[in-house]
Amino acid sequence: MIIEHMSIEDLKQVADIEMEAFPYDTWKENNFKDELNNTELAEMFVLKDKGEVIGYSGIWYMFENCDITTIAIKKEYRGNGYGKKLLKRMMNSACEHECEFMHLEVKVDNEAAIKMYRDFGFEVVRTRKRYYTDGTDAYDMIANVIPYEEEIEEEKKKIVLAIESSCDETACAIIDEDRNVLSSIVTSQIDVHSRFGGVIPEVASRMHVEQISTIVNEAIKEADISVDDVDAIAYTVGPGLIGSLHVGATAAKTLAFFYNKPLIGVHHLKGHIFINEMIKEIEYPLMALVVSGGHTELVYIENDDSFKIIGTTLDDAVGEAYDKVARVMHEAYPGGPVIDRLAKEGKEHYQLPTPKVDGYNFSFSGLKNAVSQLVKKEEKLGNEINKNDLAYAFQETALNTLVKKTKLACEEYPCKSVVIAGGVAANSRLRELMEENFSDKDLILPPLKYCTDNALMIACAALHYMKHDKYIDLSTSSKPSMSIEED
Ligand code: KG4
Ligand code: ZN
C-alpha cells in the first residue's frame, strides 16, 4: 500500500471511485485534471494497492489555511483506516506548506467520517444548510495542522516458489522479485547414483518422490511464509528425465491448484543462464555456451525473451562424455569433477583425435570412443595408464573445441557478454580458457555453488517468465526434450 501524487494515468480509476462515493456532486476526470494542472495551489494524492487506486484525496493551500477538497476510499476497502493514511499525509504536506489550520466540509450524516476527523482534532465550527445537491447539510470542520507519523509501508514484493527435479537433485527455493533468497533447499542423489556409475532414471524418480514433500515444506518453513503469500509457483517443465520432471510438476501443480496461484513452466537451461543474475545484471546480446550432462549448445540470446540455438552436439553432450570417460578409467560418477582434478596433474602425452564438425555444432562420441579404445588397448597389453595424462588429453581436446567454436560464434553474432552455463561450467580449465579468450567481453562465470542443479536458478528464470506474462495451465505436460527456443 503506497501513497503517491496523483497522475493523469490514475484519473480513470479515480473517476470511478468518485462516481461510487459521490453520486450527486460528482467530479469528472476533467475536474481532477484541472486540480492536477494547478500545481501552485493544489495537491492530489492516490492510495494504491499493487498498482490499483483504492483511494484519493486533494488539498488546497491558501497561506496559513488549507482546505481538504476531496477524500474518498473505494467501497470494498472502507473501514480499514485507509482514510486516516490519506489524512496523515495531507496533514504532513500542510505542515510542509507552513499552514496552521485545515478546513473541510462533511455531510452531517456521515458519522464514520466525522468521527475520523474528530480523532484528528477537527471541530465543527458551523453548519451549512442544504450544502449538497441532494439537500443534505454540511458541517464546516477545522483543525490545527500538526505533523503525524506515517507508517511507511512498502509495496509487497512479489514472491516465487520454484521446484527443480529434472535430474538427480530435488530442490525448492523461494525468492522475491529483487532476488532476495528467502530459502533454497537442495538434496542431491549423487551418492546413490555414483554406486551405479550414472543416473538410473527409475531410481532418480523414486528418490524425488521420497524427497519432494519434505523439501518443499522445508523451503516454506525456512522462508517463514505461507503458500498464500506466494505470487507464482514455478517448476522445471523440461528438459530432463520424464519420471523426475513429473514429480516436480505434480508438486508444483498441486500447490498452484490448491492455493489458486499462477503456474510457470521453466526451461531448465534458462535457469542455468539466469542464475547468474544473482551476481550481476546480464548485458544483451549474450552468447551462452550451455554445457551440462544432457546438453552442449551455443545459444544466442538477443534479449531475455529471445533464444536462438546456433550450434548443438550431434551425439554426446560434453558432460556425458566426461562421465563416460571417467567410467572407462574406472573412476566414480559424476566424472566431470574427477577428470577436472586428474587433468590438473597431467601433461601432454596421449594423442586424441580432435572432433571435426563444421559450423557451430559439436561431436564428442568420437573423442570418447578414442579414450575407451586407448584404455582397452593398454589394458590388453598389460600397460598401466597414466590417468592424469589421459584426463589432460581428453579435457584439452574437448574444451578447446568448445572455446574455439564459442569464439567463432561471437565473431558472427555480435554480443556484449558471454556466459557458460550448466554443470560443466564448474570445470576449472574451462573457466581458465574462457578468461584467456574472452577478455574483450563481459564474461560471466557462474559461481561454483550455482553450477550444480538447484531451484534458485528456476526461480531466477521464473522472474523473466512473469515479466513476459508467460504462464501455463495445469494441462501442460512435462517436456523431456524441450528446446530452449520453445516458450
Ligand atoms: O547441469 P548438470 O548439473 O545436470 C544436467 O542438467 O545435466 O550437469 C551435470 C554434468 C555432469 O555430466 C558432470 O560430470 C558435469 O556436469 N560436471 C563437470 C564438472 N562438474 C560437473 N564437468 C567437468 N568438470 C567439472 N568440474
Ligand atoms: Zn542442469
Q: What is the 3-state secondary structure (H, E, C) of 77-97?
A: HCCCCHHHHHHHHHHHHHHHC
Q: Report which secondary-structure segment, H or E, holds 102.
A: strand 101-107
Q: Which of 180-194, 234-248, 294-308 has the lowest mean pLDDT?
A: 180-194
- 453 CB within 6 A, ligand 1: yes
- Residue 438 neighbours by CB under 8 Å, 6+ apart: 406, 407, 410, 418
- 293 CB within 6 A, ligand 1: yes
Query: Once rounded to an integer, what is the mean pLDDT over residues 25-39?
Result: 87
Ligand nearest to the CA of 364: 1
Cβ neighbourhood burial of 281 (10 Å; 0-12, 13-18, 19+): exposed
Q: Report which secondary-structure segment, H or E, holds 186.
A: strand 181-188
- 161 CB within 6 A, ligand 1: no
DSSP β-bridge partners for residue 101: 65, 144
- pLDDT value for 154: 62
Query: Once rounded to an integer, what is the mean pLDDT over residues 38-49?
Result: 91
- pLDDT value for 196: 67
As a whole number of angstroms, the distance between CA 231 and CA 249 comes to 17
- Cα separations in angstroms, 186 against 162, 169, 170, 189, 267: 12, 7, 6, 10, 18
- Reported confidence tier of residue 153, pLDDT bands at 50, 70, 90: low
- pLDDT value for 202: 81
At 239, the amino acid letter reads: P
DSSP β-bridge partners for residue 103: 67, 142
Q: For the chain, what is the mean pLDDT? A: 93
Give residue 292 CA to ligand 1 midpoint distance, Å. 5
Cβ neighbourhood burial of 95 (10 Å; 0-12, 13-18, 19+): middle
> Whose CA is closest to atom 8 on ligand 1?
423
- pLDDT value for 152: 64
- pLDDT value for 304: 97
- pLDDT value for 424: 96
The answer to whether 238 and 479 have CB atoms below 8 angstroms apart is yes
- 211 CB within 6 A, ligand 1: no
- pLDDT value for 189: 72
As a whole number of angstroms, the distance between CA 418 and CA 423 comes to 16
DSSP state of 225: -
- 167 CB within 6 A, ligand 1: yes
Give residue 292 CA to ligand 2 midpoint distance, Å. 6
Residue 161 has pLDDT above 90, yes or no: yes
- Reported confidence tier of residue 361, pLDDT bands at 50, 70, 90: very high
- pLDDT value for 193: 64
Ligand nearest to the CA of 398: 1
- 292 CB within 6 A, ligand 1: yes
> Whose CA is closest to atom 19 on ligand 1?
336
- 395 CB within 6 A, ligand 1: no
- pLDDT value for 256: 97
- 117 CB within 6 A, ligand 1: no
Query: Once rounded to an integer, what is the mean pLDDT over residues 152-171?
Result: 87
CA 401 from chain centre, in angstroms, equals 33
The answer to whether 243 and 205 have CB atoms below 8 angstroms apart is yes
pLDDT tens profile 68-116: 999 999 998 988 889 999 999 999 999 999 999 999 999 999 998 999 9
Residue 333 CA, closest ligand 1 atom number: 14
Query: Once rounded to an integer, what is the mean pLDDT over residues 281-293?
Result: 95
Ligand nearest to the CA of 240: 1
- 423 CB within 6 A, ligand 1: yes
* pLDDT more than 70, % of the chain: 98
- 478 CB within 6 A, ligand 1: no
- 271 CB within 6 A, ligand 1: no
- 452 CB within 6 A, ligand 1: yes
Give residue 352 CA to ligand 1 midpoint distance, Å. 22
3-class state of residue 182 by DSSP:
strand
- 262 CB within 6 A, ligand 1: no
Site to probe by mutation for ligand 1, drawn from 267, 322, 419, 481 as the one with most ligand atoms within 8 Å of Cβ, is 322
Is the bond leading into 239 cis (omega within 30 degrees of zero)? yes
C-alpha closest to that of 162 among 36, 267, 86: 267
CB atoms within 10 A of CB 83: 21
Q: Would you say the pTM of this structure is higher than 0.75?
A: no
Ligand nearest to the CA of 319: 1
E strands, 206-345, are 232-238, 263-267, 286-291, 296-303, 306-312
Ligand nearest to the CA of 461: 2
Give residue 453 CA to ligand 2 midpoint distance, Å. 5
Give residue 426 CA to ligand 1 midpoint distance, Å. 7
Residue 426 CA, closest ligand 1 atom number: 26
Give residue 97 CA to ligand 1 midpoint distance, Å. 64
Give residue 293 CA to ligand 1 midpoint distance, Å. 5
- pLDDT value for 197: 67
Ligand nearest to the CA of 293: 1
